[in-house]
Amino acid sequence: MNIFVVNCGSSSIKYQLFDMADESVRAKGVVERIGEAGAEAQLTHTVGEQKHKRTIAAKNHTEGLTYILGVLVDPAIGVLGSTKEIDAVGHRVVHGGEKMSRTCRIDPSVIDVIHENAVLGPLHNPPNLMGIEAAMTVMPGVPHVAVFDTAFLSTLPPKAYRYAVPAEWYTKHRVRRYGFHGTSHRYVSLQTAKLLGKPLERLNVITAHLGNGCSMTAIANGQAVDHTMGMTPLEGLIMGTRSGDIDPAIVSYMVTNAGLSAQAVDKALNKSSGLLGLSEFSNDMRDLLEAVDAGNEKAKLAVECFVYRIVKYIGAYYAILPSVDAVVLTGGIGENSVPARSMIVDGLSRLGARLDDQRNHATLRGACGPITTPDSVLPVWVVPTNEELMIARDTKAVISQ
């Protein structure tokens, strides 16, 4: 069974084609700069170790997807004899709101709900919909399935998802915590259950997805019970360019006292805050750690704030969970950054975490395993995420029902 996974942004289409017989990736790639004024779209298509780059004509997502399908059957760089060999398409959809608590086959009612949630996910749902509509146009004969980023977090209890604001904000305007990165947290929790040899229903873990976007989930008996991101992905941990938690009064303060519009404040909190805002030069952990080594004080502060917020949330989640089998780190920083991981584990010493330096240095490039000592009271694991594979597995499960 071939499952085609599609993840559309406003000017990009990321794709992976899975052979579900062995869950291998037959081809993957990305088209970027779709519809950008004065720029041509760029395709990067990868088969095994072979990377092919092309400038292509794609003014919109339909043209981009048509081109990708052409590449998949191209005799020179393709991997399929015909696009009819694609059995289903799995779409990443960011905001499912309250109605979408699980993966589902896309029909007009699902499209309506994704539209309805565009007000909650204005940056993501409209491009996700463009991708769905384009893919349904160019692949009309196959089932299309939506996998929602918010779905795994739909088990949060009201005490975790309600904000203490006028109740009408929730009942009338749907203001509540939804959470994001759910597909990643779910994949990582399933992997961790396997690695620890525990049934998922008995797994108690804290999963931290630390990439450009960062979020953390408290998981009790296999179900998400709290999460750091909120109504939007802005809340919680410090991220590459997002502030994470701030006093909400700062927004009106900056509007009133700095002459910024509400939109300008929102943009600053999303695009020029976080590691970038604090360091004033980069949102990338690698750059920051290099600068710390060279004695850059702003980079040092940025990394300290980043680690401090993570440790603080782990402490909070430790308090609310029935027990903690492990803290699990994933995402670009969690999977690769030896220094950031070591600072996080050191910060958890009060909870009984003890770093194993050798394990920390050895667990890289897609490897998984503990980075704490065998006698560490609180084990910290690295488990690489794979959101695309989770989407492919979900899609297969839905179309096999």
Supply φ then ψ for residue 89, to 5 degrees: -120, 130
Name 53's bridge partners.
44
Question: Considering only residues 331, 370, 379, 384, which one is a binding residue for ligand ADP as defined by CB under 6 A?
Answer: 331
CB of 244 to ligand ADP, least distance (A): 14
In the bound state with ligand ADP, the residue whose beta carbon lies nearer, of 78 and 213, is 213
Q: CA-to-CA distance for 234 and 270, rounded, in angstroms?
A: 7
Binding window for ligand ADP (CB under 6 A); candidates: 5-13, 96-104, 225-233, 333-341: 333-341
CA–CA distances in Å: residue 12 to residues 62, 96, 149, 262: 11, 21, 18, 27
**Does 179 help bind ligand ADP (rule: CB under 6 A)?**
no
Smallest separation, CB 19 to ligand ADP (Å): 24
Q: Which is nearer to ligand ADP, 215 or 395 (CB)?
A: 215
Q: Is 333 in the site for ligand ADP (CB under 6 A)?
A: yes
CB neighbours of 60 closer than 8 A, spacing ≥ 6? 34, 35, 130, 134
For residue 276, the minimal CB distance to ligand ADP (Å) is: 10
| Nearest CA-CA partner of 196 in 379, 40, 372 | 379
The SS3 call for residue 77 is: coil
CA atoms within 13 A on the CB side of 140: 1
The answer to whether the CB of 377 falls within 8 A of the CB of 400 is no
For residue 326, the minimal CB distance to ligand ADP (Å) is 20
In the complex, what is the shortest distance from the CB of residue 390 to ligand ADP, in angstroms, rounded to a whole number? 14
Indicate whether 19 belongs to the interface with ligand ADP (CB under 6 A): no
Strand partners, 175: none
Query: Does 284 interact with ligand ADP (rule: CB under 6 A)?
Result: yes
Tokens encoding 352? 């009984």
Tell me, residue by residue from 195 to 214, as one string, x for binding to ligand ADP by CB under 6 A and - for no binding: ----------------xxx-
What DSSP string runs through 282-319? -S-HHHHHHHHHTT-HHHHHHHHHHHHHHHHHHHHHHH
Asked whether position 337 contacts ligand ADP by CB under 6 A, the answer is yes
- Is 129 a binder of ligand ADP (CB under 6 A)? no
Least gap, CB of 51 to ligand ADP (angstroms): 17
**Candidates 11-19, 47-55, 118-126, 278-286 — which segment interacts with ligand ADP by CB under 6 A?**
278-286
Instruction: Measure the CA–CA gap between 318 and 64, rounded to whole angstroms.
Output: 46
286 lines the binding site for ligand ADP (CB under 6 A): yes
The Cα–Cα gap between 161 and 155 comes to 10
Binding mask 240-269 for ligand ADP (x = CB under 6 A): x-----------------------------
Residue 386 binding ligand ADP, by CB under 6 A: no
Q: Catalytic residues, which ones?
A: 149
The footprint of ligand ADP (CB under 6 A) covers: 211-213, 240, 284-286, 331-333, 336-337
